[in-house]
């Protein structure tokens, strides 16, 4: 239906999606989406809607009749049997219970009017009256580094799209559905800074309006981290750089726009994890030469991470299948020849726009990678030259995992080289 987005374009597009204003309910305003033309503005903010097959519905209805409140074990078992994600089964039961309750109430209301004899509230037929409670899902342990990644994403966008959630899932290893719940809980417990209540800030779709300073306690800022029980104290000097590697897509801040502050979220442990992963991968490079492209090694964590925010070879065991993404999540891509998307993928403009948007904020993310996938591949080729690989080896072997040189995030390329690269792209 829609052409497939390259990863860089996908990120830029996601920015568009995420920036769509939401109404007071947190839902994106239809008007805004419509103004971008239904043809050129694909649906990417939501998960692709599943069309349940008859046998799946039958199984769900059967189980619902037996128990409208299935526990995690039952849901997981059913998920395996009918080939649906457990989270979708949970949602189906939520919706089904409500439909059931609604019908029950309608019936009871009708009978109430007829007979006028219901003096006492009766529990709806779908309520868990005599059914023993099944076990809940076990708490999902979220490590400080994972939490910091989530917090950073939360501060950037309180309502992440399915693409963002899946990306966070890949980066943290936490299931997407758990990330969704985490954001729900987080929103509930950390209402936005607004004089008109927490929902007011949602109306603009982004958390920090350009004219509005960020919340005074950004949980992932060094100050917040120092006071947070989940984030270890950090050296703000060191971690200003760390943030760009661990949390933000630092293409603009660390590479394309040298000198732009890259933010304050310190995710040392994640950075360390990345560094260790790099080392480990380097160690087995010869046995799995294709798993991590040499260019990522060559550029060290700086460029490598820059280019791999959404398809990092470091975290997921495979490169993100951006071309096939629409198959798994329903991410539909707009035609890029014209329209808002095309404009949005003009990287420098995006970077500039984001920088403006975040002006005054502690964080200075440039979320949208201006490079479409083919450009990334071209860059991959450029960076896989033996010369740059040598640089990468030197970079990796030059410092231990726990401490990086001062210019850790500095690109191995000069500004002229960057410009040349950009010109080529």
Look up tokens 């829609």; give the residue.
2
Q: Tell me: does residue 319 bind DNA (CB under 7 A).
A: no
Q: Which stretch binds DNA (CB under 7 A): 67-75, 112-120, 204-212, 404-412?
A: 67-75
Q: Which stretch binds DNA (CB under 7 A): 95-103, 266-274, 333-341, 354-362?
A: 95-103
Euclidean distance between CA atoms 175 and 92, whole angstroms: 18
Euclidean distance between CA atoms 419 and 258, whole angstroms: 12
Q: Tell me: does residue 395 bind DNA (CB under 7 A).
A: no
C-beta closer to DNA: residue 198 or 261: 198
Angle subtended at Cα 117 by Cα 111 and Cα 119, rounded to the nearest 5 degrees: 110
Q: Kindly identify the residues of this chain, within the stretch 245-264, that bind DNA according to CB under 7 A.
A: none
Binding DNA (rule: CB under 7 A), the pick from 80, 122, 185, 348 is 185
Q: Tell me: does residue 154 bind DNA (CB under 7 A).
A: no
Smallest gap from residue 6 Cβ to DNA (A): 22
**Tokens representing 175?**
């299931």
- Strand, helix or coil for residue 139: coil
Q: Tell me: does residue 186 bind DNA (CB under 7 A).
A: yes
What does the CA dihedral 25, 28, 29, 32 come to, rounded to 10 degrees? Answer: 160
**Tokens representing 387?**
């010369």
Q: Which stretch binds DNA (CB under 7 A): 110-118, 124-132, 317-325, 347-355?
A: 124-132
Q: Tell me: does residue 189 bind DNA (CB under 7 A).
A: yes
Q: Tell me: does residue 230 bind DNA (CB under 7 A).
A: yes
C-beta closer to DNA: residue 44 or 250: 44
Q: Tell me: does residue 217 bind DNA (CB under 7 A).
A: no
User: Which alpha helices (DSSP H) does 228-322 contain, by range?
Assistant: 236-246, 268-283, 294-298, 300-307
Contact string (CB under 7 A) for DNA, positions 326-365, x = contact: ----x-----------------------------------
**Tokens representing 245?**
């590697």
Q: Tell me: does residue 130 bind DNA (CB under 7 A).
A: no
Q: Tell me: does residue 40 bind DNA (CB under 7 A).
A: no
Phi, psi of 22 (to 5 degrees): -110, 155
Phi, psi of 386 (to 5 degrees): -55, -35
Identify the CA nearest to 220 among candidates 144, 160, 273, 272: 144
Q: Tell me: does residue 92 bind DNA (CB under 7 A).
A: yes
Q: Tell me: does residue 133 bind DNA (CB under 7 A).
A: yes
Task: Write the DSSP assignment of 305-374 as a string of letters.
Answer: HHHTTTT-SSSSSS---STTHHHHH------SSSSHHHHHT-HHHHHHHHHHHTTTSS-----S----HH
Q: Tell me: does residue 27 bind DNA (CB under 7 A).
A: yes
Residues that bind DNA (CB under 7 A): 23, 25-30, 33, 43, 46-52, 57, 69, 71-72, 88, 90-99, 101, 124, 126-128, 133, 136-140, 142, 147, 158-159, 162, 178, 180-189, 191, 198-199, 202, 228-230, 330
């Amino acid at each position: 239906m829609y052409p497939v987005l390259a990863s860089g374009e996908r990120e830029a597009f996601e920015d568009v999606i995420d920036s769509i204003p939401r109404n007071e309910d947190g839902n994106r305003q239809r008007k805004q989406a419509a103004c971008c033309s239904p043809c050129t503005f694909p649906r990417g903010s939501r998960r692709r809607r599943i069309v349940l097959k008859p046998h799946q519905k039958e199984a769900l209805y059967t189980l619902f009749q037996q128990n409208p409140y299935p526990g995690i074990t039952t849901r997981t078992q059913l998920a395996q049997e009918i080939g649906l994600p457990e989270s979708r089964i949970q949602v189906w039961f939520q919706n089904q219970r409500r439909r059931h309750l609604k019908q029950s109430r309608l019936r009871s209301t009708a009978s109430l009017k007829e007979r006028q004899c219901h003096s006492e509230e009766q529990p709806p037929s779908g309520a868990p009256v005599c059914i023993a409670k099944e076990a809940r899902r076990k708490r999902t342990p979220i490590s400080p580094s994972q939490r910091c990644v989530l917090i950073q994403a939360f501060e950037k966008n309180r309502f992440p799209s399915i693409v963002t959630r899946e990306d966070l899932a890949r980066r943290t290893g936490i299931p997407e559905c758990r990330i969704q719940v985490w954001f729900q809980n987080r929103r509930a417990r950390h209402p936005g800074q607004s004089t008109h209540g927490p929902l007011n800030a949602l109306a603009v779709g982004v958390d920090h309006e350009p004219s509005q300073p960020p919340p005074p306690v950004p949980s992932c800022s060094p100050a917040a981290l120092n006071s947070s029980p989940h984030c270890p104290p950090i050296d703000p000097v060191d971690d200003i750089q760390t943030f760009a590697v661990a949390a933000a897509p630092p293409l603009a801040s660390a590479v394309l726009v040298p000198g732009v502050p890259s933010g304050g979220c310190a995710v040392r442990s994640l950075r360390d994890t990345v560094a260790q992963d790099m080392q480990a991968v380097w160690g087995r490079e010869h046995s799995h030469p294709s798993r991590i492209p040499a260019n990522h090694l060559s550029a060290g964590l700086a460029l490598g991470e820059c280019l791999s925010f959404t398809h990092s070879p470091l975290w997921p065991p495979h490169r993100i299948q951006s071309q096939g993404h629409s198959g798994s999540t329903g991410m539909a891509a707009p035609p890029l020849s014209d329209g808002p998307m095309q404009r949005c993928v003009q990287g420098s403009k995006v970077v500039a726009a984001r920088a403006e948007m975040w002006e005054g904020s502690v964080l200075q993310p440039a979320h949208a990678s201006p490079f479409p996938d083919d450009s990334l591949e071209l860059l991959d080729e450029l960076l896989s030259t033996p010369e740059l690989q040598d640089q990468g080896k030197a970079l990796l072997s030059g410092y231990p995992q726990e401490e990086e040189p001062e210019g850790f995030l500095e690109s191995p390329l000069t500004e002229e080289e960057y410009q040349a690269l950009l010109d080529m792209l």
